[in-house]
């Protein structure tokens, strides 16, 4: 069934106001198809009824979670957010690294919170390695991936990926940092692996969160959308504290921190924005 | 360089061009009609009908994919009714400016220029609505014409401007600084001289001159700030002239943001993220609009 523009707007405003994720009208057909899948599962025939069911207390929150899983396709792959990577390479890395280089403190610490099976962590490690010949000559890197799910952490530590995960890896990176064992088995190189480490962490755990200190960059994509506003504010406050005074925080495509924290400043670049401490 | 120095240099450059582009009388009339809220459709139709080329263009544009009427519209009057009074003014003005520079080869692609111009116009209008600026229409129009200085440079000072474009290419340099360095003036002052020459209203000239330095605007810093911010938001949405390797801005550090917050304190609470996503939504629409204008401009 066709999702009317009016229903699309009601739904996207509801999702934005509860989760902080905005779907532009260009994504209407995508949203329509994902909603159709959920409606079929629940034997709901009218969009209005489905939207009402999302607002329905505990059951509604559970359904919203399911829908978000489908809408974020619940998957991660290498080089998932090119505008963000480009901003990092073109502007933010030089901006952060240059003053550090001057005082001889050649170390970068990056945290990917909600790292899942590790694609983002390894992507960042490779991007930094590529800069080792130029901007980051003789630097050391530490890239930390954290997740609450031990299963995905184990997969991340293993560092073996399928063709779907690596489909956007540029050739240069593919040649340098992967070993292709079969058409469905791409193994990350030891050089990349030794820059990263994966840890179990619950973002709600204040006692552990306060020890995640002195990061230059923090990435947290498609995680905060599952939290209520109060928890979001608390977690984001931790991220703020965990950043160096000049550090940057990134959320996923279509996400927003509006109403969650007013401490960060937005820095706009082609295709997105970052939050500056 | 001192402000007067830049302006003097721009004057000389504009004066040095013997055949300055002229803008049809209709464009000046269209701008004049702004201050007459009670202008009638008949009056506008008569003004446009005087210019047969313009009249046929309007009909062509109204039948283009962007406006997509159900049935082909054949008469100017029906086109005016369909498009609405406001839309027609923008079209008339734009066609006039496109005309003024037609038949010459410029340094950059003129279509990209119009995508940027309409982008800034649309975003300026959205910002004006948000801050409850009383003259929304004016924000749109002045957004559309803010960079006429660039077109002038691109067409009439080709060699110098080519150097500017080459210098910027692949770097994060911007037009204003590079133009000042290589030409001794910028598209702001050039645009100002051109707009004066075309008898644009003084407040338009002021914004054209100060769209990169809104605090210096003497007539209406808020209007200059609206255009400045719209320009920034467009620059990160590929609605710019391209060529630059990198562009970014920190909203909190922009003087225009401060000006608009003091104009409308509620603007400080703007949901910047949602605002950005909503702007992203409008980009294809702006590209369609410009395509439609160009389709309507092709001579039979």
Cross-chain Cβ contact B251/A270 below 8 Å: no
- Chain B residue whose CA is closest to A276: B250
CATH number for the domain harbouring residue A140: 3.40.50.150
According to the model, what pLDDT value does residue B299 have?
A: 47
Instruction: Tell me if B251 and A254 make a contact (CB, 8 A cut-off).
Output: no
> What is the per-residue pLDDT across A52-92, written as a single tens digit (0 to 9) for each?
999 988 999 999 999 998 998 767 899 999 999 999 998 99
| Cβ B176 vs Cβ B216: under 8 Å | no
Please judge whether B237 and A270 are an interchain contact, meaning their C-beta atoms are less than 8 angstroms apart: yes
ipTM above 0.85? yes
Taking only the tens of pLDDT, chain B with its 300 residues reads 567 899 999 999 998 887 777 776 767 776 676 566 666 777 777 777 777 777 887 888 888 777 778 888 888 888 888 887 777 777 777 777 777 776 667 788 888 888 899 899 999 999 999 999 998 888 988 998 999 999 889 988 999 999 999 999 888 788 999 999 999 999 999 999 999 988 888 999 999 999 999 999 999 999 999 999 999 999 999 888 776 778 899 999 999 999 999 999 989 889 999 999 999 999 998 888 888 777 766 543
Each domain of chain B, given as residue ranges in start order, spans: 3-21+105-297, 23-100
Same domain, A37 and A111: no
- Tell if the CB–CB gap between B250 and A267 is shorter than 8 Å: yes
Choosing from A71, A93, A118, the residue where a domain stops is: A71
Is residue A232 domain-resident? yes
User: Domain containing A53 — which CATH number?
Assistant: 1.10.155
Task: Check CB contact under 8 Å for A258 and B274.
Answer: yes
Same domain, A170 and A105: yes
Choose the mutation target among A5, A22, A95 for the interface with B, i.e. most B CBs under 10 Å. Answer: A22
Give how many domains chain A has, as a whole number: 2
Residue A76 lies in a domain: no
Residue B277 is nearest to which of A24, A266, A267, comparing CB atoms? A24
Q: Are residues A62 and A101 located together in one domain of the fold?
A: no
Judge if A119 and A23 occupy the same domain.
no
Residue B57, SS3 per DSSP: helix
Task: Pull the structure tokens for residue B75.
Answer: 């008469």
Cα separation, B200 vs B203, whole angstroms = 8
DSSP sequence for B182-249? HHSS-HHHHHHHHHHHTT--HHHHHHHHHTT-GGG-SS-HHHHHHHHHHHHHHHTTT-S---BS---E
Which of A268, A273, A275 would you mutate first to test chain B, the one with the most B CBs within 10 A?
A: A268
Q: How far apart are CA B239 and CA B116, in angstroms?
A: 5
Residue A152 in domain: yes
Residues 6+ apart with CB under 8 A from A179: A186, A187, A189
Is residue A57 domain-shared with residue A140, that is, in the same domain?
A: no
Answer yes or no: are the C-beta atoms of A35 and A67 closer than 8 Å.
yes
The reply to whether A29 and A161 lie within a common domain is: no
Is A258 in CB contact (< 8 Å) with chain B? yes
What pairing do the DSSP bridges indicate for beta strands A265-269 and B249-250?
A: antiparallel
Q: A24 vs B238: CB contact, 8 Å cut-off?
A: no
On whether both A31 and A132 belong to a single domain, the answer is: no
Give A145 or B136, the one with higher predicted confidence.
A145
Whether residue A246 lies within 8 A of chain B, CB to CB, comes out as: no
Residues A24 and A90 in one domain: no
What are the angstrom distances between the C-alpha of B280 and each of A12, A25, A62, B33? 15, 10, 30, 32
Q: Is residue A77 part of a domain?
A: no
| Residue numbers of B between 253 and 272 with CB closer than 8 Å to A | 253, 271-272
- Clarify whether residues A154 and A123 are in a common domain: yes
- Flag whether residue A14 sits within 8 Å of chain B, measured between CB atoms: no
Residues of B in contact with A87 (CB under 8 A): 248
Same domain as A176, residue A54: no
CATH class of the B3-21+105-297 domain in this structure: mainly alpha
Coil, helix or strand at residue A87: helix
- Taking an 8 Å cut-off on Cβ atoms, the answer to whether A24 and B281 are in contact is yes
Q: Do A147 and A262 fall within a single domain?
A: yes
Q: Distance between CA atoms of B135 and B120, rounded to whole angstroms? A: 16
Interface test with A, best of B252, B267, B277 (most A CBs within 10 A): B277
Same domain for A117 and A65: no
What domain range is A238 assigned to? 82-276
Residues of A in contact with B274 (CB under 8 A): 16, 22, 256, 258
């Amino acid at each position: 069934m066709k999702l009317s523009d009016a229903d699309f707007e009601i739904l996207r405003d509801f999702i934005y106001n509860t989760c902080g994720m905005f779907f532009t009208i260009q994504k209407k057909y995508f949203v329509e198809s994902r909603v159709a899948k959920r409606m079929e599962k629940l034997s709901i025939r009218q969009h209005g009824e489905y939207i009402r069911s999302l607002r329905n207390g505990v059951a509604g929150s559970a359904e919203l979670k399911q829908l978000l899983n489908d809408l974020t396709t619940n998957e991660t792959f290498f080089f998932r957010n090119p505008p963000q990577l480009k901003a990092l390479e073109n502007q933010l890395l030089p901006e952060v690294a240059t003053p550090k280089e001057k005082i001889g403190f050649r170390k970068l610490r990056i945290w990917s919170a909600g790292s899942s099976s590790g694609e983002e962590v390894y992507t960042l490690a490779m991007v930094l390695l590529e800069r080792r010949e130029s901007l980051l000559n003789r630097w050391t890197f530490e890239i930390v991936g954290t997740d609450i799910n031990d299963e995905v952490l184990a997969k991340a530590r293993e560092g073996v990926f399928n063709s779907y995960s690596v489909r956007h890896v540029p050739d240069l990176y593919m040649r340098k940092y992967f070993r292709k064992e079969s058409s469905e088995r791409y193994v990350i190189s030891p050089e990349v692996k030794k820059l990263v480490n994966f840890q179990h962490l619950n973002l709600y755990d204040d006692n552990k969160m306060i020890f995640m200190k002195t990061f230059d960059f923090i990435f947290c994509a498609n995680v905060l959308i599952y939290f209520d506003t109060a928890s979001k504010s608390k977690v984001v406050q931790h991220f703020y504290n965990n950043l160096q005074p000049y550090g940057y925080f990134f959320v996923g495509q279509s996400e927003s921190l509006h109403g969650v924290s007013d401490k960060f400043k937005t820095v706009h670049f082609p295709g997105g924005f970052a939050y500056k401490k | 360089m001192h402000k007067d120095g830049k302006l003097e240099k721009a004057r000389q450059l504009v004066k040095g061009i013997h055949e300055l582009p002229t803008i049809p009388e209709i464009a000046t009339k269209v701008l004049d009609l702004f201050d007459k809220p009670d202008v009638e459709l008949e009056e506008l139709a008569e003004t446009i009908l005087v210019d047969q080329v313009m009249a046929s263009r309007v009909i062509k544009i109204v039948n283009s994919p962007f406006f997509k009427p159900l049935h082909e519209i054949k008469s100017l009057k029906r086109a005016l009714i369909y498009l609405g009074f406001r839309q027609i003014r923008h079209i008339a003005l734009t066609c006039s400016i496109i005309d003024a520079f037609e038949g010459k080869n410029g340094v950059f692609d003129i279509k990209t220029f119009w995508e940027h111009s309409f982008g800034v116009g649309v975003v300026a209008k959205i910002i004006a609505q948000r801050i409850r600026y009383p003259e929304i229409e004016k924000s749109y129009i002045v957004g559309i014409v803010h960079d006429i200085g660039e077109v002038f440079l691109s067409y009439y000072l080709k060699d110098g401007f080519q150097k500017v474009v080459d210098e910027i290419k692949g770097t994060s340099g911007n037009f204003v600084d590079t133009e000042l360095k290589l030409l001794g003036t910028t598209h702001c002052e050039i645009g100002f001289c051109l707009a004066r020459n075309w008898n644009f209203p003084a407040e338009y000239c002021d914004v054209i001159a100060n769209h990169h330095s809104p605090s210096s605007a003497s007539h209406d810093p808020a209007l200059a700030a609206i255009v400045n911010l719209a320009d920034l938001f467009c620059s990160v949405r590929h609605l710019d002239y391209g060529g630059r390797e990198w562009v970014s801005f920190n909203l909190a550090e922009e003087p225009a943001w401060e000006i608009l917050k003091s104009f409308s304190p509620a603007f400080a609470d703007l949901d910047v993220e949602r605002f950005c996503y909503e702007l992203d939504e409008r980009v294809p629409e702006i590209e369609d609009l410009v395509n439609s204008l160009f389709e309507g401009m092709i001579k039979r």
